Structure 1
């Protein structure tokens, strides 16, 4: 029986259309599945990172409290600085402990400045605060160590009409080392941004530290201030790449912790899975034949 070309064409085109539609559906389903995987990984990374950071900041506050108690018991500069040096030597995540007292600044490692009252208000770790308050500074480049830091600062009772403060500088690069291991898919990462300034405090690219974040807009900061502490930044563009991030602004240190990746990462992950699936399917078929 001779098959008519017209009949053959009428059978082939629907079959091709069906196969193409099936491939598109399977590809789209894999993409959506990988997208959900990316969101889940990013959410988990943010939770782990937030808990990790909170643990270290609670530890830093405890060390700062011990130094406060030493000062309040004896008002001894040498006693506080000796204990401070012991803490800095034992903890690589601390850069420096500073004591502002009697109009002078005393730092670990022998970094001392006398008669600083006239210009101390210009230091990046200084802000107007009442005795009994403890605050965290915005990120700044430490003048004595040359490294990026944030400082926990405790404001104590004045002595001889002079301000007394103890500050503990934290090495953000050292603090970030373990967080850099958290990945979303292949190329995603964890980072952190200051809520008040929108500046980056932690990032795998050190050149981004202290610069404005692209993902955290003023609109997002406003939503967070209104109580939207957790959520998804569904789309933003950086260096011509469309990205997403999951964020969490619940923290002890007024930071936004984020994790995400580029959409292209999800697409490439989908391609890699599809390729493996096709190879396995072909191998299985060959075994059957």
Structure 2
């Protein structure tokens, strides 16, 4: 155990000091990928066996529930078709730009970290599938997190619940923008620096704001669970509950949002001259001073 501890500290020190350790770690993760697939086989086998051994009555009940759910979803689709057409007409009146669908690929869970101080998971998509660092990850309900490291065939995802993860959000009801940070718990997030007079209420849906260009705009993140106003304090204490279900989900979506528009050199020069200023040497190379 002492030898393992010494090796672990040496590897952590090397990863902080040597720039090529990230590449070495990616290669080692590629080697370990078959082991992760083998470890996930028992759960897949159990799920398959449970499905095979299900009795006929259970399958009939499940089929009935699925049919009822299909009818409900069909009604919603019909309603959404009307709302979509209405939205198109309103956008034409406002001469607004059309929002394109964001491409994605599906992924499946391989393993969850057992460390109580970190909330990370490994999925079965890697560099060969187009995954990249910082890529947004969704489940069927909302935002799960973002890819933090990529190997050839697997990726490691940093989840919303991790205390080191933060997401810029806005209140879907009125557009107020805040930052949501993990607390180390799957069922709780904290909304940072909310003024005591801000119009935020319990039940408000928080969606991605699109700021910083990493997460696309409009995807659900959390719902406000509690707002505490402390007299005399400038900020309210606001907690939220994630809408995603990381403890239950096994299938995810990796989004490919378009890159943020870059400011051309001509546009930057025009903006600076319009403001009465001068272009600095750093700005002439395409970098902001």
**TM-score calculated relative to the size of structure 2:** 0.22
More helix by share: 1
Structure possessing the higher radius of gyration over alpha carbons: 1
**TM-score calculated relative to the size of structure 1:** 0.22
